[in-house]
Structures are given as structure tokens and as C-alpha cells.
């Protein structure tokens, strides 16, 4: 993850729990499962800090709503694909300089709490 430079802000969305169709087995294709999403987003926040105005800030609520709609409204065979599509949604916002998305699939393995995939993008 890039170092946080002066004037940049780091937004973290932690443990966004959603339900979606994820997997390749028949029971996974037919039944929604929980996924846990964590986001880290870096963007220049000088104007937002100076003006105390949402118009100059990156609206994490708008981003999160788009992620919720996309994840809950689609089907995914692979965690990699789901994670990339979430990253693509985040990166559509021009202010985003760096984003990291981690998606956990709880209880995907018998003796593990979860399995996760992490992908990152930057401009």
C-alpha cells in the first residue's frame, strides 16, 4: 500500500457484510452466501479539508451503495472476479488515486475462518 502523503486521505470501509451468489458448486450457485468486504481508498483531500464541503470530498456512502447494489444483484463464480469488479467500481471515481479491495468468503474451507482475495489499483 502506498505511503499516506500530506494532503491525501485514506478511507477505510471495514467489514461490509453482504450476501451474494458466489462459487462453482451447485449449492453455491443456488444459495446466497455471506461475503465480507474491506476497502482502502486514497484520494487528495486538500479541498475537502479546507472547505469542509462534501462537494470536495470523495463520498464513501455513494461508493458503498454502488458496491452493495452490484454485489447483491449479480452472481460470481470466483472471488477473483467479484473482487476485481468491486475494484473497478471504486476506480471509476476520478479522485481515487489508489484502492485496495479484499473480499472474504467465510467458511469456504473446512478448517479456516475464511478465504480472501485482495486486489489493488492505482492511477
Q: Is residue 87 part of a domain?
A: yes
Considering the domain boundaries, does residue 69 fall inside one? yes
Residue 68 lies in a domain: yes
Looking at the domain assignment, is residue 1 inside a domain? Answer: no
39: in domain: yes
Task: Please check whether residue 22 lies inside any domain of the structure.
Answer: yes
**How many domains does the structure of the chain reveal?**
1
Q: What is the pLDDT of residues 56-105, one digit of tens each?
A: 999 999 999 999 999 999 999 999 999 999 999 999 999 999 999 999 99
Pair 97, 122: CB distance under 8 Å? yes
Which residue pairs from 1-8 have beta carbons closer than 8 angstroms and sit at least 24 positions apart in sequence? Answer: 1/40, 1/98, 1/100, 1/120, 2/42, 2/97, 2/98, 2/122, 4/42, 7/44, 7/45, 7/46, 8/42, 8/43, 8/44, 8/45, 8/97
Q: Where in the sequence is the domain holding 103, given as residue range(s)?
A: 6-120
Domain membership flag for residue 114: yes
Look up the CATH number of the domain holding residue 60: 3.30.1130.10
pTM recorded for the entire structure: 0.93
Asked whether residue 21 is assigned to any structural domain, the reply reads: yes
Is the dihedral angle over the CA atoms 49, 54, 56, 60 positive or is it negative? positive
Amino acid at each position: 500500500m502506498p505511503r499516506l502523503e500530506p494532503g491525501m486521505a485514506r478511507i477505510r470501509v471495514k467489514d461490509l457484510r453482504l450476501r451474494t451468489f458466489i462459487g462453482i458448486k451447485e449449492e453455491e450457485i443456488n444459495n446466497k452466501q455471506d461475503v465480507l468486504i474491506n476497502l482502502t481508498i486514497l484520494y487528495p483531500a486538500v479541498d475537502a479539508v479546507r472547505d469542509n464541503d462534501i462537494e470536495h470530498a470523495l463520498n464513501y456512502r455513494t461508493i458503498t451503495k454502488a458496491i452493495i447494489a452490484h454485489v447483491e444483484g449479480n452472481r460470481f463464480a470466483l472471488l477473483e472476479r467479484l473482487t476485481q469488479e468491486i475494484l473497478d467500481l471504486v476506480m471509476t471515481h476520478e479522485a481515487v488515486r489508489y484502492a485496495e479491495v479484499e473480499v472474504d468468503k467465510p467458511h469456504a474451507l473446512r478448517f479456516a475462518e475464511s478465504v480472501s482475495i485482495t486486489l489493488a489499483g492505482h492511477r
